[in-house]
Chain A
Amino acid sequence: MDLIEIKDLSVSYKIGYKNIKILDNLKLNIKKGEYVCIVGSNGSGKSTLLKAILGLVPYSSGLISINCKKSKISYLPQNSDILIDFPATVSEIILSGTQNTESIFPFYKKRDKLLADDAIKRAGVDSLVKRRFGELSGGQQQRVLFARAICKKPEILILDEPCTGLDPEISNSFYALLNKLNKETHTTILMVSHDIDSVKKYATKVIEINKKIMFYGTTREWLKMKTDG
């Protein structure tokens, strides 16, 4: 049994009275510990696929089964819902990433605080913890949300273009950190990325989509296909 199994998945959005098919008959299996990158042009349905896996958008047909606890999945969205003028500090936001649905009353325990501290160090946001989230730069906010996503030590980490708007140096340290998580703790990584260099360097598998799956296989096969034309 693979970690994520997707069969005949179709997703449509209702726009006015019309149903527009965004994803058409996808089939995918992702194994534990893989580092999978999703590529494709703008509007090809990459974010929609992630959202369907996370249960954020309903799907019209097919089956998605995820063989780990829901609380072991973490997500870094392409655009977060957090409003700029929302009064919350960086540390409040990161700590909230430790919440899961296993306890009914979500009080933070000592362990949660340690996990958050660890994530803060890994994401390099130590100096920001007391700041108000809304006053940070876009790149800093992204790092904070990254810390929130990794702090509960997820089994599956789903990221949607995590490095857009970051300078190259920070992007590289991001990818290195992801790679470390993937190698050391066997965190399965499923990431939408436009950064071909990092895909080449770290990904074990590549999914290319454009409404349908155009390619799904190892990174080497994908590169070969691209150079062969």
Chain B
Amino acid sequence: MVKNENGWLSYMSINEIIEILSYPFMARAIIVGILISLCASLLGVILVLKNYSLIGHGLSDVGFASISIAVACGFSPIYLSTPIVILASFVIMYISQSKKINGDIAIGIFSTGSLALGVIVTAISNGLNMDVYAYMFGSILSMNNTDVFMSIILSAVVLTLFILFYNRLFIVTIDESFAKSIGINIQFYQFLISLLTALTVVIGIRMMGTLLISSLIIFSAFIAKKFVRSFKSLMFLSATISILCFLIGVLVSLLLNIPTGASIVIVNIIVLIISFIISKISDSISLCKN
């Protein structure tokens, strides 16, 4: 919603939306958004099934710290946050596997520590300036060419690795000790999953913001899980839900002039509620039949 010249709140008209959609920056945003949604939803399947979903959350806080440092020093955040978030993902995975410290606690320490660091850096440098704010809540429409280029490259890396190792990721996700017994190097795949999560978080931050990126990873897989029989159809349904929610979310954010990331999250939550009702209804129908 925006205030028009009379001071009244007004919605954007359909014509205005069509006009905005035809701008090149919008087309770029939609392409990048679809790629990010695809990466997050596929990876989300593995993270949700393996109970790793908090990792994405912890990493987004690490992303916040690295972005505030980058902004304070005045260079492009994605170059700094990519290596730092990857490194953090490896450390978190390593600590969770060592069994001495519970994984959730490791993530808790990392995320609160990173938030504290980020806030201190931001306060010392400039206060909460527009750049940091944009990274916290996402601003897909303000992506520059570097952002678009890096997002496309990183998504391509994530999708390629995912497809190449799809069958291994399946076996490692469903039955770790069987995978180990046939000689599969579990640690390698744990680190691969960490790497893919880190990359997805880094590219997703531009769109969703550090506060909301982890929702992009969790929602679609969680919604899809109730409706499928096979792992493959879970992948397809999760990807479809994620992309549709993204598109609807962008449209809603334009219509109501609200932040894109938040709008995508709300759309996901509405779909989650609807899916919950549908599965309850179909449960009771199948109960009646029996």
Please give the residue numbers on chain A whose beta carbons come within 8 Å of chain B beta carbons, in ascending order: 54-56, 70-71, 73-75, 77, 80-83, 85-89, 92-93, 96, 99-101, 105-108, 130-132, 148, 158
Taking A75-B182, A81-B176, A148-B178 as given, write out 8 further A-B residue pairs in contact, using a Cβ cutoff of 8 Å, ordered by the A residue number.
A55-B183, A56-B177, A71-B182, A81-B174, A81-B178, A96-B171, A105-B165, A130-B229
7 nearest CB pairs, A to B: A70-B183, A75-B181, A106-B167, A132-B229, A89-B230, A54-B181, A101-B183
The answer to whether B182 and A73 have CB atoms under 8 Å apart is yes
Residue in B164, B174, B177 whose CB lies within 8 Å of A86: B174
Q: Which single residue of chain B is at the shortest CB-CB distance from A105?
A: B164
- Contact flag A93-B174 (CB < 8 Å), given A56-B180, A85-B225, A87-B231: yes
Q: Which of B171, B177, B178, B180 has the most CB of A within 10 A?
A: B178
Nearest chain A CB to B178 CB, angstrom units: 7
- Contact flag A77-B178 (CB < 8 Å), given A87-B229, A89-B230: yes
Q: Which of A85, A100, A105 has the most CB of B within 10 A?
A: A105
- Report chain B residues within 8 Å CB of A85: 225
The answer to whether B177 and A77 have CB atoms under 8 Å apart is yes
- Contact flag A92-B225 (CB < 8 Å), given A73-B181, A106-B168: no
Q: Which of B181, B229, B230 has the most CB of A within 10 A?
A: B181
The answer to whether B181 and A99 have CB atoms under 8 Å apart is no
B184 within 8 A of A: yes
The answer to whether B230 and A88 have CB atoms under 8 Å apart is yes
The answer to whether A71 and B183 have CB atoms under 8 Å apart is yes
B107 within 8 A of A: no
Residue in B171, B228, B230 whose CB lies within 8 Å of A99: B171
- Report chain A residues within 8 Å CB of B178: 75, 77, 80-81, 148
B175 within 8 A of A: yes
- Report chain A residues within 8 Å CB of B109: none
The answer to whether B228 and A108 have CB atoms under 8 Å apart is no
- Report chain A residues within 8 Å CB of B167: 96, 99, 106-108
- Report chain B residues within 8 Å CB of A70: 182-183
Nearest chain A CB to B101 CB, angstrom units: 16
The answer to whether B175 and A92 have CB atoms under 8 Å apart is no
Q: Give the bracket for the number of chain B residues in contact with chain A.
A: 20 to 34
B234 within 8 A of A: yes
Docked complex Cα distance between A89 and B233 (Å): 10
The answer to whether B175 and A80 have CB atoms under 8 Å apart is yes
- Report chain B residues within 8 Å CB of A77: 177-178, 181
The answer to whether A87 and B181 have CB atoms under 8 Å apart is no
Q: Which of B220-262 contact A (CB under 8 A)?
A: 225, 228-234
The answer to whether A92 and B183 have CB atoms under 8 Å apart is no
Nearest chain B CB to A199 CB, angstrom units: 24
- Report chain B residues within 8 Å CB of A75: 178, 181-182
B170 within 8 A of A: yes
Residue in B176, B180, B184, B232 whose CB lies within 8 Å of A92: B232
Nearest chain B CB to A80 CB, angstrom units: 6
Residue in A82, A87, A108, A158 whose CB lies within 8 Å of B234: A87
Q: Which single residue of chain B is at the shortest CB-CB distance from A76?
A: B178
The answer to whether B174 and A88 have CB atoms under 8 Å apart is yes
The answer to whether A74 and B182 have CB atoms under 8 Å apart is yes
- Report chain B residues within 8 Å CB of A74: 181-182
Q: Which single residue of chain A is at the shortest CB-CB distance from B45?
A: A87
Q: Which single residue of chain A is at the shortest CB-CB distance from B176?
A: A81
Docked complex Cα distance between A58 and B243 (Å): 44
- Report chain A residues within 8 Å CB of B230: 87-89, 92, 132
The answer to whether A89 and B165 have CB atoms under 8 Å apart is no
- Report chain B residues within 8 Å CB of A83: 49
- Report chain A residues within 8 Å CB of B174: 81-82, 86, 88, 93, 96
Q: Which single residue of chain B is at the shortest CB-CB distance from A70?
A: B183
Nearest chain B CB to A53 CB, angstrom units: 10
- Contact flag A81-B183 (CB < 8 Å), given A92-B232, A132-B229: no
The answer to whether B231 and A81 have CB atoms under 8 Å apart is no
Nearest chain B CB to A36 CB, angstrom units: 18
Nearest chain A CB to B166 CB, angstrom units: 8
The answer to whether A82 and B175 have CB atoms under 8 Å apart is yes
Q: Which of B175-201 contact A (CB under 8 A)?
A: 175-178, 180-185
Residue in A71, A81, A89, A130 whose CB lies within 8 Å of B175: A81
